Amino acid sequence: MTGRKKSAVWNYFSQSGQSGICNICKANISFKGGSTANLQRHLKTRHPGVRREEEAPPEAPSEAPLAGSSQQPSTSGDSRGRGQAMGQSRMTQFMSRPITPQRQKTLDEQLAKMVVWDLQPFSFVEDRGFKAFTNALNPSYTLPGRKT
């Protein structure tokens, strides 16, 4: 990609040819053709706790590490600020843990009760607004379809 980088996704990636190197996990993600969709998808799926595009970038160095340098995160205090060593986990990364099958079943049963008690159509679970609402409550929860 040549020229100015317009997407805010570049706050989380360093450019390396036709790929971007994630500043958080060092994954190499392709953006052939100039599209940053793969980079955005990586942030959304691998780092759900990362602040979104309209917010400020994380406190990570903007330069990729030198070839041959250690990839291990530093645990000593450095100039990046307290608790911001590269590669260090943040509390928000642990907030979206996978749902156990038992918890999934309990939530599915409560959803079925809500549909019945409130006389909602089964297609209610496929509405865009309801999906967005449940995702905001718990991104790990997989909504059942109206036919399941």
What proportion of the chain, given as a percentage, has pLDDT over 90?
Answer: 10
CA angle 11, 17, 22 (to 5 degrees): 35
Other CB atoms closer than 10 Å to residue 9's CB: what's the count?
21
Most confident of 38-42, 64-68, 106-110: 106-110
Is the pTM higher than 0.75? The answer reads no
Q: What is the pLDDT of residues 110-129, one digit of tens each?
A: 998 998 999 988 888 889 99
Q: How confident is the model at residue 4 (pLDDT cuts 50, 70, 90)?
A: low
Round to whole Å and give the CA distance between 26 and 14. 9
Q: If you write DSSP's letter for every residue of 75-132 in order, what string do you get?
A: -S--TT-TT--TT---GGGGSSPPPPHHHHHHHHHHHHHHHHHTT--GGGGG-HHHHH
CB 25 within 8 A of CB 90: no
Round to whole Å and give the CA distance between 131 and 133. 5
Q: What is the pLDDT of residues 86-98, one digit of tens each?
A: 567 776 666 667 7
Res 84 pLDDT > 50:
no
CB 116 within 8 A of CB 73: no
Q: For position 3, what pLDDT does the model report?
A: 58
Q: For position 114, what pLDDT does the model report?
A: 92
Mean pLDDT of the chain: 74
Compute the average pLDDT of residues 73-96: 55
